[in-house]
Amino acid sequence: MTESNATSIDQRPLYTINNPESVIEIFLDTEKQVVREVKCLNYNRCKEYTYSVAEYLERYAHHPAGIAISAELGL
């Protein structure tokens, strides 16, 4: 996982998680086999985390976001 404070995403999220104190958007780059997770908290605090597809699915295969990634990749 790589953490970045700058968000530079031009596509629509594959999956969005709405929590009481945050919004998490999940993006998939099929060419690079990379999943980007953008977490935005209150007061406009956002962080971007980058995972390989394998690492993301290892952590979150049971979560609806992981299921959406698997479905998009046809796994």
Question: Which tens digit of pLDDT belongs to each residue from 9-64?
Answer: 457 899 999 999 999 999 999 889 999 999 999 888 999 999 999 999 999 999 99
CB atoms < 10 A from the CB of 46, how many? 15
Domain with 30 in it: 2-73
Q: Which residues pair with 47 in a beta bridge?
A: 39
Name the domain count of the chain: 1
The predicted model scores a pTM of 0.79
- Please give the Cα distance from 37 to 70 (Å, whole number): 15
Residue 10: what pLDDT? 55
